[in-house]
Structure formats: C-alpha cells, structure tokens
Amino acid sequence: MTKKAGERTLLASVLLSLPGPFVVGIGLFLGKSSTQLADFIRRSAELAAIVVSFVVYRITHKEQRDANRKRRLEQVADRCVGAAMGLGGLAMLYVALRHPAAEKGNVVPGLVIAILGVVANTWFWFLYRRLNKEAPNPILAVQSRLYQAKAWVDACVTAALAMVALAPLSQAASIMDIVGSAAVALYLLINGSVILLGKNRPFSIAAEGTEG
C-alpha cells in the first residue's frame, strides 16, 4: 500500500510541478525581477529531478530487482535532486550578484505561483515525511528534504516578489529582491551539497524529522 502511495505521490509531484516553469517563464516576458529569473531556473531543474525520482522509484519497486542496481539507481535519483538544488542555488546567487538594477515590470504571475508553491510544497513535505516514516525509502526521504527546501524557498520568493509588486520602484524592493535571491541561494547550495555528499541530513531551517 505504501509502495502505491509513494508512486502516486511522486506522480502528483510531477503533475503539479509541470505548470510552474511555464507560468514563471511567461512572467519573465512581463517582468525583469532577478528573483523571478532565478526562480524559473530553479523550478526547471527541480522538475527534471522529480521526474527522474518518479521513474527510478517505479523501476526499483518492480519485483526481483537486483539489490545493487537498485541502490545505484536510488543514488542517481538522490544526486539529481542534490544537483537540482545546487543548480538553483547557483542561478539565484549569480542573478542576485550580477543582474543589473532595472524596472521590475509585472511580477504577478511569479508571485501567484510562489504563493501556491508555499501551500503545495508544505503539504508534499509532510506527506513524503509520513510515507518515509511508514516505510523508509531513500527516494521518499530525499523528496521530503527537497520539498522542505522548496517550501522555504517559495516563502522567500513570495516575500521578495510581494515587495516588488507593492513598490516596484522603491529602494526597499530592490534590496529585498537581491537579498531574497542571495538568502535562498545559500540555503539551496548548502542542502544540495550535503545531499550530493551523501550525508544523512542536510542543513534545515526547521527540524525535518525524517530519517534518511
């Protein structure tokens, strides 16, 4: 039952993650927020990692699967997640430091996606954590970590884009946009690096409560 629940949850993650890059990408044609550009790169990388995790989870849960091959595939999925987080962090850090100050334009599409992301990612975070507690699995564990990071990132992106939307020409909006990108970049880089290094638990703002 947990196997099917895990597969359904991963599929739901893929389906719900699909619109994010497209909607935020459309927003890039309407606005010039550094946070929004980095958010597009991050979401695209995360979507690819979630798709890989879904495929690997299905493969490794077939009957009579070689244990060594199963572990190797699970490591591939974990590294894809770590790489996605690291890539997102590098993108946000680069944009925060190098993106020129400019009129921000319309950041509403990105803001809407970020708000929805806080809700959806928090729900997935706790769902993956519960599933992993019921039947420990490295793919479910790393997905819990990914969605924990995604929830915190979307909260930061929401705050930054909300400030830009409310006062696009203010100095506070520019500072919030840059600082928000830099803070999120650091968080993603630390988590992504720890996952890539194969540690048991990445840095987190709040205790995750998931053994991996």
Lowest mean pLDDT among 3-17, 25-39, 65-79, 119-133: 25-39
Per-residue confidence (pLDDT) for residue 93, from 0 to 100 = 79
> Which residue in the block uniquely carries the two structure tokens 């999120």?
184
Categorise residue 190: left if φ over 0, alpha if ψ from -120 to 50, beta otherwise: alpha
Confidence band of 155 (pLDDT split at 50, 70, 90): confident
Residue 135: is its pLDDT beyond 70?
A: yes
H/E stretch holding 203 = none
Tens digit of each residue's pLDDT (9 = 90 or more) over 13-50: 999 888 878 877 777 777 666 666 777 887 888 888 88
Residue 198: is its pLDDT beyond 80?
A: no
Measure the CA–CA gap between 129 and 125, rounded to whole angstroms. Answer: 6
Residue 28 DSSP SS3: helix
Selected from 1.20.1630, 3.40.50, 1.20.1510, 1.10.287, the CATH number assigned to the domain covering 2-196 reads: 1.20.1510
Are 181 and 160 a contacting pair, CB within 8 Å?
Answer: yes
Rounded mean pLDDT, 94-99: 70
Residue 192: is its pLDDT beyond 60?
A: yes
Residues 6+ apart with CB under 8 A from 211: 132, 133, 136, 141, 200
Per-residue confidence (pLDDT) for residue 82, from 0 to 100 = 87
Residue 85: is its pLDDT beyond 90?
A: no
H/E stretch holding 172 = helix 171-196
Tens digit of each residue's pLDDT (9 = 90 or more) over 109-121: 778 878 988 999 9
Rounded mean pLDDT, 97-112: 66
Residue 130: is its pLDDT beyond 90?
A: yes
Per-residue confidence (pLDDT) for residue 124, from 0 to 100 = 94
Measure the CA–CA gap between 146 and 195, rounded to whole angstroms. Answer: 10
Confidence band of 193 (pLDDT split at 50, 70, 90): confident
Residue type present at position 135: A
Measure the CA–CA gap between 48 and 90, rounded to whole angstroms. Answer: 17
- 0.85 exceeded by the pTM? no
